[in-house]
Structure 1
Amino acid sequence: MSAGVETGRITTDIPARMDRLPWARFHWLIVIGLGTVWILDGLEVTIVGSMSEALKPAGTGLGMSNFDIGLAGAVYVAGACTGALFFGQLTDRFGRKKLFILTLLIYTAATVLTAFSMNPTWYFVCRFLTGAGIGGEYAAINSAIDELIPARYRGRVDVAINGSFWVGAAGGALLTIPLLDPTVLDPKIGWRLAFGLGAVLALAVLLVRRHVPESPRWLFIHGREEEGERIVQDIEKRVHEDSGRELPSVSETITIRQRKSIGIGLIARTVFTMYPKRTVLCFSLFVGQAFLYNAFFFTYGDTLTTFLDVKQTGWYIAAFAVSNFAGALLLGHFFDSVGRVKMIAGTYILSGVLLGITGFFLGSVTAVSLTLIGAIIFFFASAGASAAYLTASEVFPMETRALCIAFFYAIGTAAGGIAGPLLFGKLIEDASGSGDISKIAIGYFIGSALMIVGGVVEIILGVKAEGQSLESIATPLTAEDDAEPAGGREWEAVPS
């Protein structure tokens, strides 16, 4: 191993001890402290999307044009992609806890500053920084959750947490109804207060997050095994006291060559040469779900107002968001019991087929029927999309985990947040002249095809990771060759 300087070798049973823990209050602390970032993201995206008109008047808003509104969205996406890649590297290098505290602080500060925007330039800068904080959160949080949650619960927890984006989306949609109503609040402060509420929630999350420990898995690889051992002993004590159950002993160990850091060159080589099939898999899943959501949800509000004469979209968006979260919550446990490959492939293909069928009948929908159809499609799609993040976070070696999550998140966000809006926005603009909603069906067909392709790729290249330790799914780069678990390299007998 040429990257970094070897600082020692240890044989540890920490992964096996973490995976054999029963569910306890400690794990709820992890879910609440780390998982709520998706609620913040959903709140942020929905509120901003709903307040576009409030930002346009020069007297009460910022005097922004339609182009400025679109540019602000692109700037936020660029910030998210940049933050994911930049902070993803730092998360693998400096630890999960430092980065999930830092990125939340950046998000909070940027959101507060957005509320005090004086002109479009200030607003753009704050949107970029807010996006950078959220993008960095995704990398730090997903890696920490997967390393702290026992293997048999990892699938359902990850899917439900990623699906909690829609709790924030529903809340944001409902909040915008009074906040942007001039009879309830002065238009000068309504949109500013909306940003302030996001910052208040972030501060509450920060208070809980301070008590979440560093990942013991990260610690023992980076030469801090004594600290990792103390954390695991403390977790075991808390779980024993909470559950009242004796914890079984473990015999599985892994031998690690410790290093302070892992070179970026080795990390990149790992993704593209050691695990090329998994790279193709993650790329297919992320791009598919990104375009699916742009084909429907991110044109949904415009579709309701432009073609279906809806004046207040908040109630419709809230109903749609509730269905998304329900799907992730209710279907999540099947990703552990039925299995990753069957559930991911099934949810991708089913939602893709349903969206394609909807495209053929788009000319005859009403606001209510379109919302109902969307709720059914995305009940399944949200669980599949959440599982894309789960896949990226568990099928690559631990030393690369955060950066791999960041890399595929950036690809999906760029495809969905830049190419998607440009394409689907153009379709709506062209169709609005004639008022023919069926002209945007091509967007539905593209999203449908990409989801079906993602599902097929999952069938061919998917990894049966349910119930397995992270170290057996992808062997750490620093593991001793003779201690390597079966199935740890893609060219070996990887479960598929």
Structure 2
Amino acid sequence: MSESGTLRTIRTDIPARLDRLPWSRFHWRIVIGLGTVWILDGLEVTIVGSVASRMTQKGSGIHMSSGDIGTAAGIYVAGACVGALFFGQLTDRFGRKKLFIVTLGLYIVATLATAFAFAPWYFFLIRFFTGAGIGGEYAAINSAIDELIPARNRGQIDLTINGSYWVGAALGSLGSLILLNTSWVSLHVGWRIAFGIGGILGLGIMIVRRHVPESPRWLFIHGREQEAEMIVDRIENEVRAETKQELPQPQGSITVRQRRVIPFREIARGAAQRYPRRALLGLALFVGQAFLYNAVTFNLGTLLSGFFGVDSGQVPYFMVIFAVSNFLGPLLLGRLFDTVGRKPMITATYFGSAIVTAILAALLMNNNLTDWSFFALVLVTFFIASAGASSAYLTVSEVFPMESRALCIALFFAVGTAVGGITGPLLFGQFINSGSRNLVAVGFLIGAGVMLLGGVAEMFFGVRAEQQSLENIARPLTAEEAEAESEGREPAPQPDFGARGARIAERKVRQSQRERTGGRRYAPGVGSSFYSPGLAGTGAQNSRTSAMADEAEDREIEEVSDALRENGTMDRAALEKLVKGKSWGPGRFRRALGEAVFESRARRTSAHSYSPPERGNDD
């Protein structure tokens, strides 16, 4: 809180200072310190999938049927939904960092208690609390990551971190290979040790978390702007020492009225009234990915054993390959969400996974699949779907206001996962228990259908959020620009472009014309001229942010042109290294170079070589 102990209306440039930082060791610490929650979740889900068939065998120490495994999976997801809603409100109220410890502590206690399960009812109860801990983590972690990672890297980093779920899945499967081997570990002990692995990893993560700072964005909203300034100063000093360069000036500021608590009804009203299309989008994306993922992942072990004769001791080998395929999806495709864009990539991943799933269902219904051909189609499906599933979390954490970010993540996670994530495992568990391939195929067709709906929602309601500041995508609820101007305070400074303004204006017209010609004119959803509260390029604050982004692009084009003028013909890679183009963000150097050539401020002399403009064209 501020020194006076009262909440004030303040102007701050903290968001701009964070977004203009080059990638550094600090950001790697954020990735490692916060991204580990998905490793834990992946470990939990995969251990259940790997040991499920073993827990149904006589002598396992707990008598469970394949239907009970599906029920336990549904209860785990229900716990995650409840935990997300409960801890999500606390995260927005008390801060991201405090909730890291609470939710991680709950997970550690619950997962260790699972190792002592002796009856189905006890197993169900403990799985609920384990899920609650993981669900609470989702809200706190997703909001903190987005508020600390620069805008130009946010898409790729979010998808990769969410994809690290499958690193945990691989670890769980590899551990199960040993723990489920009855020649090494007895039948009733191995699966218990498997659950203990999660608790041990959780303790290690607890130590790493102490190096993660509180979100400066959350701090200045809640009256602790001095603490926020100290954190950002420390980050900037660290980055300067690492890069040995001065940082560029932050472009723009935001005026907010500090508040301790924002009522739930205000958040819900904001989502329903200000962003109804975004609310439908978030729901559709979460229902689709939650149904398909939870249904198949929780039941893959019993599916392989029951329908394709795979020995329960061999299931972990399949799970390791499955996990690797899922991790490679967001890892290899993640960069495209920042360069090609959110809308085309999210649409493509949802549609693509739906098509492959439908093909799998048709072949399964006709009994045309062997164990490996079935598994190959599963791998292709989830390589594509994993990037789409990760993008659901990215979407809901980007497109709603800063003050309600954690609770919005929790709300859409809970509602979407409750609809898809609970019904999926329960339905698939019963279909598998029936022994009917046709019923299992119907389950896959339902999964394809809900993924298809998610892709349609993205086509029409998706937001082009790539490389945009969070405050530009959705204006904070506490932004008080109008109030500041009405009280006679000096308005935020507008950038003075001078002669540069003419170039920018001409470029914007040209880019707008490009968007309205060719195949781009058929792209559904919002475009650069679409008006929506809080959307990039709309409203006074967003207009300033958009103008500053245009100025940054012009500076980058100018740097490319000046480097060629001073150094002569250069290889593309050497030119990018000279101007430090990689630090601009994904796709930024490529775009600046292309615009420089188009504007005759550079010439392309070969496939990978560029030279200064011809005399007479240089302005």
Shift of 1:52: 2.9
Shift of 1:114: 2.1
- After superposition, the Cα gap between the structure-2 partners of 1:68 and 1:156, relative to the gap in structure 1 and judged at 3 Å, is same
Shift of 1:69: 3.7
Alignment match, 2:550: none
How big is the alpha-carbon RMSD for the aligned residues of Structure 1 and Structure 2? 2.4
Shift of 1:62: 3.0
Q: Distance in 2 between matches of 1:388 and 1:357?
A: 24
Alignment match, 1:172: 172
TM-score normalised according to structure 1 size: 0.93
Tell me: higher relative CO, structure 1 or 2? Use CA pairs within 8 A at least 6 residues apart.
1
- After superposition, the Cα gap between the structure-2 partners of 1:242 and 1:373, relative to the gap in structure 1 and judged at 3 Å, is same
- After superposition, the Cα gap between the structure-2 partners of 1:64 and 1:398, relative to the gap in structure 1 and judged at 3 Å, is same
- After superposition, the Cα gap between the structure-2 partners of 1:124 and 1:426, relative to the gap in structure 1 and judged at 3 Å, is closer
Alignment match, 2:140: 140
- After superposition, the Cα gap between the structure-2 partners of 1:493 and 1:310, relative to the gap in structure 1 and judged at 3 Å, is closer
User: Are 1:388 and 2:430 an aligned pair?
Assistant: no
Q: Distance in 1 between matches of 2:530 and 2:99?
A: 27
- Aligned to 2:418, which of 411, 414, 423? 414
Q: State which drifts further: 154-163 or 238-247.
A: 238-247
- After superposition, the Cα gap between the structure-2 partners of 1:468 and 1:177, relative to the gap in structure 1 and judged at 3 Å, is same
- Aligned to 1:490, which of 520, 528, 532? 532
- After superposition, the Cα gap between the structure-2 partners of 1:419 and 1:243, relative to the gap in structure 1 and judged at 3 Å, is same
Shift of 1:295: 5.4
Alignment of 1:116-135 (within 5 A): 116-135=116-135
Partner secondary structure for residue 11 of structure 1: strand
2:155 touches 2:466 (CA, 8 Å); kept in 1? Answer: yes
Alignment match, 1:90: 90
Q: Which runs of 4+ in 1 moved over 6 A?
A: 483-489
Q: Match of 2:331, as an amino acid?
A: L
Alignment match, 1:29: 29
User: Are 1:375 and 2:401 an aligned pair?
Assistant: no
1:472 touches 1:487 (CA, 8 Å); kept in 2? Answer: no
- After superposition, the Cα gap between the structure-2 partners of 1:379 and 1:61, relative to the gap in structure 1 and judged at 3 Å, is same
Q: State which drifts further: 239-248 or 275-284.
A: 239-248
Alignment match, 1:155: 155
Alignment match, 1:348: 350
Q: Distance in 1 between matches of 2:322 and 2:39?
A: 15
Q: Match of 1:180, as an amino acid?
A: L
1:487 touches 1:493 (CA, 8 Å); kept in 2? Answer: no
- After superposition, the Cα gap between the structure-2 partners of 1:107 and 1:460, relative to the gap in structure 1 and judged at 3 Å, is same
1:275 touches 1:489 (CA, 8 Å); kept in 2? Answer: no
Alignment match, 2:62: 62
The number of equivalent residue pairs is 488
Q: Distance in 1 between matches of 2:126 and 2:62?
A: 14
Q: Match of 1:13, as an amino acid?
A: D
- After superposition, the Cα gap between the structure-2 partners of 1:493 and 1:476, relative to the gap in structure 1 and judged at 3 Å, is closer
Shift of 1:445: 1.8
- After superposition, the Cα gap between the structure-2 partners of 1:361 and 1:63, relative to the gap in structure 1 and judged at 3 Å, is closer
Q: State which drifts further: 196-205 or 144-153.
A: 196-205
Q: Match of 1:88, as an amino acid?
A: G
Q: Distance in 2 between matches of 1:495 and 1:409?
A: 28
2:9 touches 2:258 (CA, 8 Å); kept in 1? Answer: yes
- Please list every run of 5 or more consecutive structure 1 residues that lacks an aligned counterpart in the other structure: none
Shift of 1:264: 1.4
Shift of 1:372: 1.4
Shift of 1:54: 4.2
Q: Distance in 1 between matches of 2:57 and 2:298?
A: 23
- CA-to-aligned-CA distance 1:7-38 (integer Å, 9 cap, x gap): 20110000000000011111110001000110
Partner secondary structure for residue 22 of structure 1: coil
User: Are 1:452 and 2:494 an aligned pair?
Assistant: no
- Please list every run of 5 or more consecutive structure 2 residues that lacks an aligned counterpart in the other structure: 485-491, 495-527, 539-619
2:472 touches 2:536 (CA, 8 Å); kept in 1? Answer: no
2:49 touches 2:299 (CA, 8 Å); kept in 1? Answer: no
Q: Distance in 1 between matches of 2:59 and 2:182?
A: 14
Q: Distance in 2 between matches of 1:57 and 1:459?
A: 46
Alignment match, 1:471: 471
Q: Match of 1:374, as an amino acid?
A: V
Partner secondary structure for residue 10 of structure 1: strand
Q: Distance in 1 between matches of 2:115 and 2:207?
A: 22
Q: Distance in 2 between matches of 1:448 and 1:195?
A: 32
- CA-to-aligned-CA distance 1:350-369 (integer Å, 9 cap, x gap): 11112112222222111111
Shift of 1:296: 4.0
Alignment of 1:29-428 (within 5 A): 29-56=29-56, 60-66=60-66, 68-294=68-294, 296-311=296-311, 312-362=314-364, 363-428=367-432
- After superposition, the Cα gap between the structure-2 partners of 1:9 and 1:455, relative to the gap in structure 1 and judged at 3 Å, is same
- CA-to-aligned-CA distance 1:147-203 (integer Å, 9 cap, x gap): 000000000000011111111112212211210222111334322211221111111
Partner secondary structure for residue 36 of structure 1: helix
- Aligned to 1:429, which of 406, 420, 433? 433
- After superposition, the Cα gap between the structure-2 partners of 1:342 and 1:196, relative to the gap in structure 1 and judged at 3 Å, is same
TM-score normalised according to structure 2 size: 0.75
Q: State which drifts further: 167-176 or 185-194.
A: 185-194
Shift of 1:233: 0.3
- After superposition, the Cα gap between the structure-2 partners of 1:6 and 1:451, relative to the gap in structure 1 and judged at 3 Å, is farther
Q: Distance in 2 between matches of 1:76 and 1:492?
A: 36
Shift of 1:316: 1.3
Partner secondary structure for residue 258 of structure 2: strand
Shift of 1:215: 0.1
Shift of 1:375: 1.4
- CA-to-aligned-CA distance 1:334-358 (integer Å, 9 cap, x gap): 1111110111011111111121122
Shift of 1:123: 3.1
Q: Distance in 2 between matches of 1:493 and 1:403?
A: 20
Q: Distance in 2 between matches of 1:57 and 1:468?
A: 53
Shift of 1:223: 0.3
Q: Match of 2:327, as an amino acid?
A: F
Q: Distance in 2 between matches of 1:309 and 1:495?
A: 57
2:70 touches 2:428 (CA, 8 Å); kept in 1? Answer: no
Partner secondary structure for residue 134 of structure 1: helix
Shift of 1:302: 2.7
2:71 touches 2:426 (CA, 8 Å); kept in 1? Answer: no
Identity, in percent, stands at 57
Shift of 1:119: 4.4
1:142 touches 1:393 (CA, 8 Å); kept in 2? Answer: yes
Partner secondary structure for residue 7 of structure 2: strand
Q: State which drifts further: 20-29 or 237-246.
A: 237-246
Shift of 1:294: 4.5
Q: Distance in 1 between matches of 2:295 and 2:110?
A: 29
1:294 touches 1:424 (CA, 8 Å); kept in 2? Answer: no
- After superposition, the Cα gap between the structure-2 partners of 1:114 and 1:442, relative to the gap in structure 1 and judged at 3 Å, is closer
Q: Match of 1:445, as an amino acid?
A: L
1:487 touches 1:494 (CA, 8 Å); kept in 2? Answer: no
